[in-house]
Structure 1
């Protein structure tokens, strides 16, 4: 039951702990509240008396989460070894002030021929150099027993530190895995094409400049902000088309309010 609750909360991406988990708290956090709910219908839990020093809070929860993580990773690695070949995908991810590399793996299921993708783990980055990133990826693969398994492809964005043909991560990774050809992320390429196309068209450039001015107009003035709660966030990141797309949708959603201003 403990593992089932932990799996449920993990699957749904719900936090375990609460702000106040004392005996008289009205909300002891999702983990304990799930147990309280199960107790109402489960005779075993109703009759179970836990030891006084057993609260099933931290570090017990962390141990359960770690066990689940290890079991999931073991299942993924077993599938990769059964397939015999795999590909890697990696991208930088920031957790507050901590830089990490999100590492994913992709393989073909031998029985069905279908392609499966899995998140493997976060790799800590000591620096943003190609050597450091490559070593982090290789260390992660080594920890999971994949360093000797044939890697046939590697996928990153187009940043020079990742895609460099001589000094980039793709070149250094091929020193460990010669068969791993480099593939520039298709989604990133499409985003770059759209962004560069918009910059090449004067009407599109003027349109996005107007969007930026609108955001400045409403966010900089307290009077206008109170008068019209136009809460769209513009992020004209020219390397990600999704940012422009969200800005346009926000404009369309609040168009009537903007005209009335």
Structure 2
């Protein structure tokens, strides 16, 4: 008990410490005897005290006080310690689980293998490479098996797969940047292409010397909506500086010969050179070779007619929804996999190769 001389009141120390906010019938929080306002009924103090000590609130407070003192003396562990111990154990288990998922992700990403399948239902025979490899690991690890069987927290969805890929990509990019900074001088190589999703993809590579060897490293492939010179130049500059490389690092820039990139006054190379004066423009040698090959076959009438026919097939079939649908239905009727014809480009022989390969498959 505590006695306040100034207030002339008696207060319960235990209940002040562990009485909580509970109230008895007829009491209000803030005016509870022995807790909030104390007791000043000295004529009948013995009966009042006896009544208080027999109350359930006093007994609960006494138990709580004893536990508090035991925790202070380190005789028992607090509940928060037990909960945190279990929580730390769970965090450790999930970290090991995520490491296993990263070990699955790394080889699939390195080999350029598809992660997801078309059917992830319980009885599917092919749920995708990522899920199938996780299930394979689960056969040898009970911890991984238990995580995969959970309804939540198994981290197998396509969103988590993308996050794992991004995590590995970010770590790889940091390693490349460290090499780049040690070399001091870099060259930027940029090209764009339209993928299967029909979106323009801008690939940025950096070339540099390390220990006397020329290396080329990709730092990303980005979807870009605008392909004008200003947008491309700003995006390239932003990407290179974002990873921590200053303007003085860049000493060369490689593009194909399109005016948008090679323009002397307002092309991409001119705009980047205004920001990095040392970054001289070099016409891509592979693009030059494509131009030479294209020029060499122009006088050969048979070759020109053949490529013109392939391009005409693509134009007639793919540019008309009706004819394209008939082409798809004809393949299905013949029980053949549905192939889409590829457009061609005069200076991109890989396009010609894919286009001719598909025409040849369907011609047979």
| Residues 96-153 of structure 1: CA deviation (Å, up to 9, x unaligned) | 34333211111111x3x11111111124434222111100101111221113451011
Q: Call closer, same or farther: CA 1:132–1:209 in 2, change over 3 Å.
A: same
Hey, what's the Cα distance between the residues in 2 that align with 1:249 and 1:72? 35
Q: Which residue matches 2:276? A: 177
Report the Cα distance in structure 1 between the residues aligned to 2:114 and 2:342, rounded to whole angstroms: 29
Could you tell me whether the CA contact under 8 Å between 1:192 and 1:241 is conserved in 2? no
Distance 1:26 1:144 in 2: 42
3-state DSSP of counterpart to 2:203: strand
1:75 to 154, 164, 175: 175
> For residues 188-239 of structure 1, what are the alpha-carbon distances to aligned partners after superposition, in whole Å with 9 as ceiling and x for unaligned?
111111212322x2xx13432145448869x98x9xx99xx9x9x7966332
Q: Is the radius of gyration larger for structure 1 or structure 2?
A: 2
Supply the distance in 2 between the matched residues of 1:214 and 1:119 (Cα, whole angstroms).
33
TM-aligned CA distance change 1:175 to 1:10, over 3 Å: same
> Bigger relative contact order, structure 1 or 2, given CA contacts below 8 A and separation 6+?
1
Q: 1:177 to 1:145 in 2, by over 3 A?
A: same
Match of 1:105 among 206, 210, 216: 206
**Could you say if the C-alpha distance between residues 29 and 165 of structure 1 is closer, same or farther in structure 2, counting changes exceeding 3 Å?**
same
Task: Tell me, yes or no, if the aligned pair for 2:207 and 2:215 is still in contact at 8 Å.
Answer: yes
Alignment of 1:157 with 2:265, yes or no, is: no
Structure 1 residues 1-261: aligned runs within 5 Å: 1-42=100-141, 45=144, 51-58=150-157, 59-95=159-195, 96-109=197-210, 111=211, 113-199=212-298, 201=299, 204-210=300-306, 212-213=308-309, 237-242=345-350
- 1:140-188 per-residue CA deviation (whole Å, 9 max, x = no partner) reads 1122111345101100000011001111111110011110111101011
Q: Structure 1 71/170 Cα, relative in aligned 2: closer, same or farther at 3 Å?
A: same
- Pick closer, same or farther for the CA change 1:196–1:235 going to 2, 3 Å: farther
What is the SS of the residue equivalent to 2:125? coil
TM-score (norm 2): 0.57
Contact 1:211 1:234 (8 Å CA) reproduced: no
> For 1:69, what is the secondary structure of its paired residue?
helix
Cα distance in 2 for partners of 1:90, 1:82 equals 22
DSSP 3-state at the match of 1:118? strand
- SS of structure 1 residue aligned to 2:110: helix
- Sort the Cα spacing of 1:149 and 1:77 in 2 relative to 1 into closer, same or farther, 3 A: farther
> Could you list the runs of 5+ residues in structure 2 that have no partner in the other structure?
1-99, 318-325
Matched residues in 2 for 1:197 and 1:17: separation?
43
**Cα distance in structure 2, aligned partners of 1:45 and 1:242:** 43
TM-score (norm 1): 0.78
Query: Which deviates further from its counterpart, 11-20 or 43-52?
Result: 43-52
Structure 1 SS opposite 2:193: strand
Preserved contact between residue 20 and residue 27 of structure 1 (Cα < 8 Å): yes
